[in-house]
């Protein structure tokens, strides 16, 4: 663009000497490089900042004294080059207008050599407006511009800025401390810029020559107002001092207020979650974590889980080793049963009624007839004796307390239609004597007297009889009176076998029922037992009973010798009705019973089930270890042909198998049968018994 001031005039004669002086000033380059002003030049001027007046200010109509300075201040973009592309040398200064002081070259402009392109590039120090003026299209002699050619706008070259001073700061979050605040420049250019009395021409020139360090400080102050020092009021020169007044900078806040001390900024963010172990380690060691791959993932999992698994295994092993050992037990290794040779034993059963035979402690030989409740007559007195001995037990030579015969018992002794004991009112008999009067002559009055003595009434005593029957498992038995005279007192042969086995456990009772005859003081005459087979070998009988509804009944016992030991056989024959009289019926039942007794005594035998030294089982330590045990003697079981007996291997009453023992140590017994029919043999270790090893303890689960 053409300058607004109109055509410029050529320099006057008075200005030529000043041009010569300006050429001399270039010889003082060393002084300019040191950043100081030449002594012969006025402050605020520099070489190379003003173009040759012969090229830019010779146009017609240019005012004297204005063209040179105006051309330098408002040079258009790209005015540093002529049309031929040649850059004028920085040391070829143009003649200056009269009254324009000479300006020194700033230090930053000479750092890159004399070939820096500086002509036509002006920039204000405070970052203000750029003013660009087109080339002068003067027609003076020696002008480089072509006649009639339009001016061209070219971009202004940018000054290179010096690197900012590096400051060590602990963190970018901290504010700059006081000592690092930007300081105002004290160079000549800054003074020229800050001077309020500078002329418009000189001021505009000084603004373009402000050192980059001062500009950087100004930019830094603008970017960070918190640390900007108080700004001094400056005078902004205008491009046309004749038309406009200079502006004055007014600070937005007071400059005399002290700045607050710098302090570290505090974060208001929420705490971040903890990093994974590998990421945290990478951050602490400043080493980035390796890329994730399936192999690294597998290796990491192995490294993490292997110690945990090993720890769990160690704890498991310690717990398994310290756990209490299970209690060892005995286990039968052979068949748990043994069957006697021969066919099934057949007994001579009667053709009427019901009955059965059983070997005590071994089992039942057989039963006959329909097992349904039927009247049992005086056989009921066996339960009366059982309850009395249960409530008032006696054994051996004991006779028990004395019982006084009451008036009712004395009066009932004369009844002709029932069996009675010859006792009188006021007499005293021992408990044993009263049991003898009950069982041997089968006195009904003695049964009712014992009931009143034990339970104060016959009805209460009957309740005790039924309760005892229930305890023995006599499910088909009902008692309604203590003597059995009433037809409502019923039972079965199977139930009576249960009662016979229980009541024969008392030695006083066995002695009484095995007595054929007896003389009791105060009782006349001799008392005889109506069970006439008591004199047969091994027969000891329990109780007879006969009545019209019941017929002839007999509950009996017999002994047999097996392997030098006595074995008791219990039997019952009930419902003999083929006799003409009650006595005939009773004798028929006795005869039938004797046949069965003799067949049972002959049929019951023994057999060797286990021989001495035979392995019968083993000790199980509970962890898989087994130590065999052997029988210490022959074991013979009691039975009969076709009988199947069961073997049991155990530790015995109150015994316990040890965890370790030497060979030959008895650790249990092998038994067959139960009760009085039980047979057994001790068992011992075949070899040493040792505690389970560590491996067995470690692998146990239960």
- In this prediction, residue 693 has a pLDDT band, given cuts at 50, 70 and 90, of confident
For residue 76, pLDDT over 50 is answered with: no
* pLDDT score recorded for residue 458: 96
Task: Collect all residues with Cβ–Cβ distance below 8 Å to 171 and sequence separation of at least 6.
Answer: 264
- Six-digit token string for 1: 């663009």
Q: Which of 180-184, 513-517, 623-627 has the lowest mean pLDDT?
A: 180-184
CA-to-CA separations, 584 to 330, 371, 575, 581, 588, in angstroms, rounded: 57, 23, 12, 5, 6
- 152-203 pLDDT tens trace: 565 555 555 566 666 555 554 555 555 555 444 444 444 434 443 333 333 4
* pLDDT score recorded for residue 67: 37
Q: Are strands 517-518 and 490-491 parallel, antiparallel or unpaired?
A: unpaired
- 415-462 pLDDT tens trace: 988 999 999 999 999 999 999 999 999 999 999 999 999 999 999 999
* pLDDT score recorded for residue 214: 42
* pLDDT score recorded for residue 676: 72
Which of the two residues, 178 and 486, has the higher pLDDT score?
486
CA-to-CA separations, 391 to 32, 52, 453, 465, 498, in angstroms, rounded: 144, 155, 11, 11, 19
* pLDDT score recorded for residue 666: 92
Sign of CA dihedral 133, 139, 143, 146: positive
Measure CA of the first residue to CA of the last residue in the chain; give whole Å: 107
Q: How far apart are CA 556 and CA 341, in angstroms?
A: 28
For residue 12, pLDDT over 80 is answered with: no
* pLDDT score recorded for residue 596: 96
- In this prediction, residue 80 has a pLDDT band, given cuts at 50, 70 and 90, of very low
Task: Collect all residues with Cβ–Cβ distance below 8 Å to 559 and sequence separation of at least 6.
Answer: 538, 540, 566, 567, 568, 569
Q: How far apart are CA 698 and CA 315, in angstroms?
A: 11
- Residue pair 327/657 in contact by the 8 Å Cβ criterion: yes
* pLDDT score recorded for residue 154: 58
Helix axis angle for 381-391 and 431-439, nearest 10°, is 170
For residue 584, pLDDT over 70 is answered with: yes
DSSP 8-state symbol, 440 = S
Q: How many CA atoms lie within 13 A of 78 on its CB side?
A: 11
* pLDDT score recorded for residue 400: 96
Query: What is the arithmetic mean of pLDDT over 331-351?
Result: 90
**Which among 479, 477, 472, 399 is positioned nearest to 447, based on CA atoms?**
479
Which of the two residues, 190 and 351, has the higher pLDDT score?
351
Element spanning 566, H or E: strand 565-576
Cis peptide before 525 (omega within 30 of 0): yes
- In this prediction, residue 126 has a pLDDT band, given cuts at 50, 70 and 90, of very low
Q: How far apart are CA 143 and CA 150, in angstroms?
A: 15
Which of the two residues, 286 and 269, has the higher pLDDT score?
286
For residue 256, pLDDT over 90 is answered with: no
* pLDDT score recorded for residue 485: 94
269-283 residues labelled b (16+ CB within 10 A) or e (exposed) = eeeeeeeeeeeeeee
- Six-digit token string for 433: 């004597």
* pLDDT score recorded for residue 513: 95
- 369-409 pLDDT tens trace: 999 999 999 999 999 999 999 999 999 999 999 999 999 99
Q: How many CA atoms lie within 13 A of 62 on its CB side?
A: 29
- 585-614 pLDDT tens trace: 999 999 999 999 999 999 999 999 999 999
Q: Is 90 exposed, middle or buried (0-12, 13-18, 19+ CB in 10 A)?
A: buried
* pLDDT score recorded for residue 180: 52
- State residue 298 phi and psi, 5-degree precision: -65, -40
The reported pTM is 0.55
- Residue pair 191/232 in contact by the 8 Å Cβ criterion: no
Q: What angle do CA 501, 634, 331 make, to 5 degrees?
A: 80
- Residue pair 650/668 in contact by the 8 Å Cβ criterion: yes
Q: What angle do CA 456, 444, 576 make, to 5 degrees?
A: 135
The segment with the largest mean pLDDT, out of 199-213, 435-449, 652-666, is 435-449
Query: What is the arithmetic mean of pLDDT over 246-260?
Result: 61
* pLDDT score recorded for residue 134: 39
Q: How far apart are CA 127 and CA 239, in angstroms?
A: 15
- Six-digit token string for 605: 């035998």
For residue 43, pLDDT over 60 is answered with: no
* pLDDT score recorded for residue 399: 95
Q: How far apart are CA 3 and CA 382, in angstroms?
A: 157
The segment with the largest mean pLDDT, out of 58-72, 171-185, 198-212, 665-679, is 665-679
Other CB atoms within 10 Å distance of the CB of residue 595: 14
- In this prediction, residue 17 has a pLDDT band, given cuts at 50, 70 and 90, of very low
Q: How far apart are CA 557 and CA 359, in angstroms?
A: 10
Three-state DSSP at 428 gives strand
Query: What is the arithmetic mean of pLDDT over 222-235?
Result: 43
Three-state DSSP at 530 gives coil
**Which among 124, 105, 112, 103 is positioned nearest to 35, based on CA atoms?**
105
Question: How does the average pLDDT of the chain come out, rounded?
Answer: 73
Task: Collect all residues with Cβ–Cβ distance below 8 Å to 665 and sequence separation of at least 6.
Answer: 658, 684, 685, 689
Q: What is the 3-state secondary structure (H, E, C) of 580-640?
A: CCHHHHHHHHHHHHHHHHHHHHHHCEEEEEECCCCEEEEEECCCCCEEEEEECCCEEEEEC
Three-state DSSP at 473 gives coil
**Residues in the chain, how many?**
702
Element spanning 18, H or E: helix 16-25
Which of the two residues, 513 and 269, has the higher pLDDT score?
513
- Residue pair 674/664 in contact by the 8 Å Cβ criterion: no
Other CB atoms within 10 Å distance of the CB of residue 234: 18
Q: Are strands 374-375 and 490-491 parallel, antiparallel or unpaired?
A: antiparallel
* pLDDT score recorded for residue 147: 44
For residue 25, pLDDT over 50 is answered with: no
């Amino acid at each position: 663009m053409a300058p607004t001031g109109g055509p410029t005039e050529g320099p006057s004669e008075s200005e030529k000497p000043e041009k010569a002086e300006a050429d001399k000033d270039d010889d003082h380059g060393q002084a300019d490089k040191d950043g100081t002003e030449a002594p012969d030049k006025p402050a605020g001027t520099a070489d190379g900042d003003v173009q040759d007046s012969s090229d830019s200010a010779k146009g017609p109509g240019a005012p004297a004294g204005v063209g040179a300075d105006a051309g330098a201040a408002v040079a258009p973009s790209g005015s540093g080059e002529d049309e031929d592309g040649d850059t004028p040398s920085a040391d070829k200064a143009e003649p200056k207008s009269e009254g324009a002081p000479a300006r020194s070259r700033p230090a930053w402009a000479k750092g890159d050599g004399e070939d820096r392109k500086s002509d036509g590039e002006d920039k204000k120090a405070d970052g203000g407006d750029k003013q660009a003026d087109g080339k002068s299209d003067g027609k003076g002699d020696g002008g480089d511009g072509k006649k009639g050619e339009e001016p061209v706008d070219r971009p202004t070259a940018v000054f290179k800025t010096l690197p900012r001073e590096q400051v060590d700061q602990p963190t970018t979050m901290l504010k700059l401390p006081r000592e690092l605040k930007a300081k105002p420049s004290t160079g000549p250019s800054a003074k020229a810029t800050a001077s309020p009395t500078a002329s418009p021409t000189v001021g505009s020139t000084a603004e373009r020559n402000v050192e980059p360090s001062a500009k950087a400080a100004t930019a830094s102050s603008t970017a960070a107002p918190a640390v900007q020092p108080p700004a001094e009021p400056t005078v902004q020169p205008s491009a046309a001092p004749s038309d406009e007044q200079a502006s004055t900078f007014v600070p937005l806040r007071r400059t005399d207020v002290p700045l607050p001390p710098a302090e570290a900024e505090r974060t208001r963010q929420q705490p971040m979650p903890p990093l994974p172990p590998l990421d945290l380690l990478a951050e602490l060691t400043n080493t980035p974590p390796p890329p994730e791959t399936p192999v690294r993932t597998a290796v990491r999992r192995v490294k993490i889980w292997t110690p945990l698994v090993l720890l769990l295994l160690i704890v498991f092993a310690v717990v398994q080793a310290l756990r209490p050992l299970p209690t060892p037990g005995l286990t039968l290794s052979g068949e748990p049963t043994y069957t006697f040779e021969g066919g099934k034993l057949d007994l001579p059963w009667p053709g009427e009624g019901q009955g059965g035979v059983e070997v005590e402690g071994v089992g039942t030989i057989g039963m006959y007839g329909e097992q349904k409740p039927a009247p049992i007559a005086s056989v009921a007195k066996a339960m009366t004796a059982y309850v009395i001995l249960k409530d008032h037990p006696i054994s051996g030579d004991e006779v028990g307390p004395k019982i006084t015969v009451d008036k009712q018992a004395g009066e009932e002794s004369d009844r002709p239609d029932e069996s009675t004991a010859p006792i009188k009112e006021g007499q005293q008999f021992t408990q044993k004597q009263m049991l003898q009067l009950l069982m041997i002559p089968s006195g009904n009055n003695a049964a009712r007297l014992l009931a009143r003595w034990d339970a104060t009434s016959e009805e209460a005593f009957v309740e005790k009889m039924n309760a005892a029957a229930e305890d023995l498992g006599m499910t088909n038995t009902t008692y309604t009176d203590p003597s059995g005279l009433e037809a409502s007192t019923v039972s079965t042969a199977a139930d009576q076998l249960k009662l016979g086995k229980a009541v024969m456990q008392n030695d006083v009772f066995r002695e009484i029922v095995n007595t054929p005859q007896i003389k009791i003081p105060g009782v006349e005459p001799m008392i005889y037992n109506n069970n006439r087979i008591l004199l047969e070998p091994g027969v000891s009988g329990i109780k007879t009973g006969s009545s019209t509804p019941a017929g002839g009944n007999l509950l009996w016992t017999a002994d047999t010798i097996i392997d030098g030991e006595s074995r008791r056989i219990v039997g019952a024959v009930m419902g003999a009705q083929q006799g003409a009289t009650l006595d005939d019926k009773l004798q028929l039942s006795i005869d039938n019973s004797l046949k069965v007794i003799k067949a049972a005594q002959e049929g019951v035998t023994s057999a060797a089930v286990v021989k001495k030294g035979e392995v019968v089982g083993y000790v199980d330590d509970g962890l898989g270890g087994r130590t065999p045990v052997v029988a210490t003697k022959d074991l013979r079981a009691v039975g009969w042909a076709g009988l199947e007996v069961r073997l049991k291997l155990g530790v015995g009453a109150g015994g316990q198998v040890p965890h370790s023992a030497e060979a030959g140590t008895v650790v249990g017994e092998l038994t067959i049968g139960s009760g009085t029919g039980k047979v057994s043999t001790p068992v011992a270790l075949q070899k040493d018994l040792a505690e389970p090893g560590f491996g067995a303890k470690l692998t146990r689960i239960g």
